[in-house]
Structure 1
Amino acid sequence: MALSQPTLTPPPRILVIEDDYANRLLFSDYLTYAGFVVLALADGTELGPTLHAFQPDLLVLDLGLPDPDGYCILEQLQTPGGGPQLPVVVVSGYAFVDHQERALALGVHQYLIKPVRMKHLVQAIQSALVR
């Protein structure tokens, strides 16, 4: 009886856009440890070329970024030709319901409020990737 070989699939590619250095490093290191391929950026100024070159499967996005802010990035992803339809998980310090509603209206799959438990971030990513 032959043993079946496990199917090897490439790990999901996660783009993190987070302006806070400590958070960016934490997210990048933990998500890499969790088995993802991660590229972390401090801002979204080079989003188009980065999406083309890295081809992420999901975006982890902070909303409180310098120009452009996270909402502008979400709007850019919604426009035709703005990039692939990526699942987005927001991790933000903006805790008010109106911030969450605005982000969800722009297509965010999940909205996590900082400080976030890394376990919850990984669960949110896995859930968004399954859709």
Structure 2
Amino acid sequence: MAKRVLVVEDNELNLKLFCDLLRAHAFLVEPVNDGRDAVSRARAFQPDLVVMDIQMPHVSGLDLIREMKLDARLRAIPVMAVTAYAGREDEERIRSAGANAYVSKPISLARFMEEVRALVPSDVVEAGGL
């Protein structure tokens, strides 16, 4: 069964890139381009991972992560923050809000997928592995 990833990103090009990349690696993806919809969509979709932009209009990704971690149905879902913030203090602030991983923009596609796989281990047996 495909792992489910909720992608919260206000930039349409980044949203498409992240979703296309995840789909190419056999993930079921739910895109969200307005952070105000993120928590309700997470409750409905029940993802195995949330990819969260931090700097968005209307609501901060940090606030969304905090809100999700206070929700009994969502708190166990790992969150990977993806942001242009790149300072040491920024990473600490993002992790202290509840993010399990942090990837800075511009992203390396290989690093992005490494972090995704670390947070959502695949239980699929590779072909020829039996």
Superposed CA RMSD: 1.4
Change (3 A) 1:78 1:97: same
1:48 Cα offset (Å): 3.1
Give deviations 1:6-28, integer Å, cap 9, x for gaps: xxxx1110000011110000111
Q: Percent identity?
A: 29
Unaligned runs of 5+ in 2: 122-130
* Aligned residue pairs, count: 121
Which residue of structure 2 lines up, in the alignment, with residue 40 of structure 1? 31
Shift of 1:49: 2.4
Runs of 4+ in 1 over 6 A off after TM superposition: none
Whether 1:88 and 2:79 are equivalent positions in the alignment is yes
Name the SS of the counterpart of 2:115 in structure 1.
helix
| C-alpha contact 1:76 1:82 (8 A) present in aligned 2 | no
Say whether residues 1:26 and 2:17 are aligned partners.
Answer: yes
Q: How much has 1:53 moved relative to structure 2?
A: 1.8
Contact 2:8 2:38 in 1 (8 A): no
The 5 A counterparts of 1:6-85 are 10-81=1-72, 83-85=74-76
When Rg is computed on C-alpha atoms for both structures, the one with the higher figure is 1
Q: TM-score, normalised by structure 1?
A: 0.85
Shift in CA distance, 80/51, structure 1 to aligned 2, threshold 3 Å: closer
Long gaps (5+) in structure 1: 1-9
TM-score (norm 2): 0.86
